[in-house]
């Protein structure tokens, strides 16, 4: 639970709003029923139930965009309703709603929701005792919304940047091991749910340490970047490439059968032999492949591919070994 809140900003905002609604709105709803203002109490109760329902939906489905949009409408719409019924006192409930909407949904949508809320109050007019009060409220509401917009936009940019740093390899620009772990788990779940086939390929550049030792890490980096570029040119858009560590890479291929996979990997191996160069000459790769089997989890699947890669390197490198056979499919040419 805590890990989901840490990793999902919008879910944390939705959960915080739900907790605030229970703690903040419930006493007012009870007080208004006790005071005899039934309509105001029913509005508060409706807002509370709607918010709690949206929080439960967000946790069960992880669909924070729809639930966030719904909550933004409920919060602002409820604020308008309370202000209309309660008058000047109810206006104060709208300010937190105007701020929260920018964290519940995307900024352009939040702007429209906030404008609609303010316009509804202006058109109805019952919440204001004078024109001066109305325009004072409109001005402060706009200022609050603008500040929230700037803060939310900056926060979104920073989170996107942090997400990029956390999931992408800085040298090659492809996904890193953290992303790989998540995608392998998702592939296993997809296979169990609908039977979609997957192949996991580990690729290790042969004698890469020699390149770094003889020509420096900058040359080695250039070889890695070119290697990734070559892989991307010879794989499908649906295939996913990850940097596993150092000169090791992982290629996840969905929807492949065994015969088609062999043709693809043989073609990829020949392309590497022909095109990947270093100052010391051609650069080859050892390749281990494992098809996803029933009963596999992400760790066991990866371990089988890693064992196949080990066998490819032990057999003389520049080999493709399938975990299912643990025998060379091609030999060095």
Q: What length is written for the chain?
A: 333
Inside any domain, residue 206: yes
Residues 80 and 223 in one domain: no
The pLDDT of residue 207 is: 92
Q: Which residue has the higher pLDDT, 248 or 9?
A: 248
The pLDDT of residue 327 is: 43
Q: Identify the band that residue 316 occupies on the pLDDT scale cut at 50, 70 and 90.
A: very high
The pLDDT of residue 326 is: 60
* Active-site position among 132, 156, 183, 247: 247
The pLDDT of residue 329 is: 44
Q: How far is C-alpha 110 from the geometric centre of its chain's CA atoms?
A: 21
Residues 159 and 181 in one domain: no
CA distance linking residue 324 with residue 310, whole number of Å = 14
Could you tell me the CATH number of the domain that includes residue 222? Answer: 3.30.70.270
As a whole number, the mean pLDDT across the chain is 87
The pLDDT of residue 254 is: 94
**Contact, 231 vs 241, CB < 8 A?**
yes
The pLDDT of residue 7 is: 64
Residues 48 and 126 in one domain: yes
Cβ-based neighbour number of residue 97 at 10 Å: 25
Q: State the maximum Cα–Cα separation within the chain, in Å, rounded to a whole number.
A: 89
- Least confident window among 1-15, 29-43, 178-192, 236-250: 1-15
Inside any domain, residue 172: no
Mean pLDDT along residues 302-320: 94
Instruction: Judge whether 324 counts as a catalytic residue.
Output: no
Q: Identify the band that residue 250 occupies on the pLDDT scale cut at 50, 70 and 90.
A: very high
Inside any domain, residue 64: yes
The pLDDT of residue 105 is: 87
**Contact, 245 vs 177, CB < 8 A?**
yes
- The dihedral through the CA atoms of 22, 25, 28, 33 has a sign that is negative
Q: Answer yes or no: is pLDDT of 300 > 80.
A: yes
The pLDDT of residue 132 is: 87
Report H helices in the chain: 2-7, 9-35, 38-61, 64-86, 88-91, 94-104, 107-124, 131-167, 177-194, 208-215, 217-233, 258-275, 298-314
The first and second tokens of residue 166, run together, are 């956390």
Residues 14 and 159 in one domain: yes
* Domain membership of residue 99 as a residue range: 2-166
Residues 192 and 315 in one domain: yes
Residues 20 and 158 in one domain: yes
Q: How far is C-alpha 33 from the geometric centre of its chain's CA atoms?
A: 43
pLDDT tens-digit profile of 120-153? 989 888 788 888 888 998 899 999 999 988 888 8
Beta bridge partners of 281: 278
Q: Identify the band that residue 158 occupies on the pLDDT scale cut at 50, 70 and 90.
A: confident
| First-last CA distance in the chain | 53
- In this structure, what DSSP letter does residue 175 have? B
The pLDDT of residue 328 is: 45
Residues 159 and 184 in one domain: no
pLDDT tens-digit profile of 60-113? 888 888 888 988 898 888 888 888 887 777 788 788 889 888 888 888 899 999
Residues 153 and 181 in one domain: no
Mean pLDDT along residues 242-256: 93
Inside any domain, residue 85: yes
Total domains in the chain come to 2
What percentage of the chain has pLDDT greater than the value 90? Answer: 42
Q: Answer yes or no: is pLDDT of 187 > 90.
A: yes
Residues 127 and 238 in one domain: no
């Amino acid at each position: 639970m805590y890990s989901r809140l840490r990793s999902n900003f919008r879910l944390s905002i939705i959960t915080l709003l739900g907790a605030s609604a229970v703690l903040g709105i419930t006493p007012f709803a009870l007080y208004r029923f006790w005071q005899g203002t039934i309509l105001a109490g029913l509005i508060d109760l409706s807002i509370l139930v709607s918010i709690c329902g949206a929080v439960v939906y967000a946790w069960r489905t992880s669909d924070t965009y729809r639930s966030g949009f719904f909550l933004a409408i409920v919060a602002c719409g409820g604020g308008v309703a309370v202000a209309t019924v309660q008058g000047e006192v109810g206006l104060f409930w709208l300010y937190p709603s105007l701020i929260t909407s920018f964290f519940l949904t995307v900024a352009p949508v939040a702007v429209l929701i906030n404008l609609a809320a303010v316009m509804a109050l202006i058109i109805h007019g019952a919440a204001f005792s004078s024109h001066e009060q109305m325009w004072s409220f409109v001005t402060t509401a706009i200022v609050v919304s603008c500040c929230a917009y700037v803060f939310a936009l900056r926060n979104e940019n920073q989170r996107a940047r942090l997400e990029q740093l956390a999931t992408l390899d800085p040298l090659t620009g492809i996904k890193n091991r953290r992303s790989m772990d998540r995608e392998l788990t998702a592939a296993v779940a997809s296979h169990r749910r609908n039977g979609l086939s997957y192949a996991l390929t580990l690729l290790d550049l042969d004698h890469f340490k020699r390149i770094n030792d003889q020509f420096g890490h900058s040359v080695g980096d250039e070889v890695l970047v070119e290697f990734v570029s070559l892989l991307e040119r010879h794989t499908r858009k649906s295939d996913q490439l990850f940097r596993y560590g150092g000169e090791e890479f992982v290629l996840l291929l969905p929807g492949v059968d065994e015969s088609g996979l062999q043709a693809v990997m043989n073609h990829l191996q020949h392309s590497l032999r022909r095109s990947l160069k270093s100052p010391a000459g051609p650069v080859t790769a050892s390749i281990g492949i494992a098809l996803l089997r029933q009963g596999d989890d992400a760790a066991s699947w990866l371990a089988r591919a890693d064992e196949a890669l080990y066998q490819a390197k032990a057999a003389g490198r520049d080999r493709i070994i399938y975990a299912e056979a643990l025998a060379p499919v091609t030999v060095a040419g």
